[in-house]
Structure 1
Amino acid sequence: MHTDNAHPYLRAASAGIRHHTRALTRPGTEPATPADRPHLDVLHAHLTAVHQLLDHLAETTRPRHPAAGRHLAATHTRLWQAAAELHDAFHLLPTTTADDAEARACHPERLPEGPPVLTICQRHLAAGHSIRRKTTPTDHRPHTTTCTR
């Protein structure tokens, strides 16, 4: 049953992302700046929040609707893969401090260099624990679809 006010926070988050995307690609404005570490940190936070939501939905849907639950679980895994790639991209971007291998390394035991709001490594580690408890390495194989559209 769908109503206009169903899931207002998700609708607001989606609208925020659409607005941000339009602002980055608006014609006639100066070229968008490339992604930086704070930008990827916030985007990673969004992906991991959706990852947690999909995990919950898969678990609660699977008993009553097994096929749909399996698809939600697959979505959960694919979103983890996207978050992992985003985390890797974060560490390939230049830092605001020394630009050496130590500064680029992932240190989940401490905050990444920069402001304390950047917690991508801890967040990624927590999401990684969740995915490892519920999946196997075989689940992480490249996705193929059976959709013919």
Structure 2
Amino acid sequence: MTQPRTSVPDSHPYLRAATAGVRHHARALTCPGPAGPPDRAHLDALHAHLTELHRLLDQLAEAARPPHPAAGRHLAAAHTRLWQAATDVHAAFHLLPTAHTDSVACRPDQLPDGPPVLTICQRHLAAGHTVRRKTTPTDLHRTPHTTSCAR
């Protein structure tokens, strides 16, 4: 009698769901039709995703470093590159036009919906504290990357 195959439980269901969501969004942007330029809300959501991935990579690098130093170094390098991507998305966010007039944009308390609870700048500054604790300025400006496989 043959034992039925049991699937291994997925230990990262939320990460898989987030990845599927990003893939779906990327496909939707490339569909025929007027996609239009990105807006601030789009970049804000992308920045939130990048900073959460940044935090996850930080935790993975810390966990991998003692038993597997080489893997930990690669994860730390990915952590740095992800921070650089989040910084560029943050900069792009500020280059897009706002929906409000300049006088209201400078006064979030006067926005129709009230001040935002967590703005992209607050999120970016909070993530920046982690970067400054664990990364040197030299590491942030040095971005060597090889595409060769170590196997």
Task: Tell me the TM-score normalised to structure 1 length.
Answer: 0.83
- SS state of the match for residue 63, structure 1? coil
78, 81, 85: which is aligned to 2:84? 81
Aligned to 1:127: 127
The whole-number CA distance in structure 1 between the counterparts of 2:73 and 2:125 is 24
Aligned to 1:11: 16
The whole-number CA distance in structure 1 between the counterparts of 2:73 and 2:119 is 30
Aligned to 1:50: 53
Change (3 A) 1:78 1:3: farther
How big is each residue's C-alpha offset from its partner over 1:62-90, in whole Å with a ceiling of 9 and x where there is no partner? 00000000110111111000000000000
The whole-number CA distance in structure 2 between the counterparts of 1:68 and 1:114 is 48
Which runs of 5 or more residues in structure 2 are unaligned?
A: 1-6
Change (3 A) 1:148 1:61: closer
Aligned residues with identical type, % of pairs: 65
Task: Tell me which moved more, 82-91 or 137-146.
Answer: 137-146
The whole-number CA distance in structure 2 between the counterparts of 1:48 and 1:31 is 29
Shift of 1:26: 1.2
Shift of 1:147: 3.1
1:28-43 equivalence runs, <5 A: 30-43=33-46
Change (3 A) 1:125 1:4: same
Task: Tell me the TM-score normalised to structure 2 length.
Answer: 0.82
- SS state of the match for residue 147, structure 1? coil
The whole-number CA distance in structure 1 between the counterparts of 2:82 and 2:137 is 15
Change (3 A) 1:97 1:69: same
Contact 1:41 1:118 in 2 (8 A): no
C-alpha RMSD over aligned residues: 2.6
The whole-number CA distance in structure 2 between the counterparts of 1:70 and 1:114 is 46
Aligned to 1:138: 138
The whole-number CA distance in structure 1 between the counterparts of 2:72 and 2:112 is 39
- SS state of the match for residue 5, structure 1? coil
Which runs of 5 or more residues in structure 1 are unaligned?
A: none
| Bigger Rg, structure 1 or 2 | 2
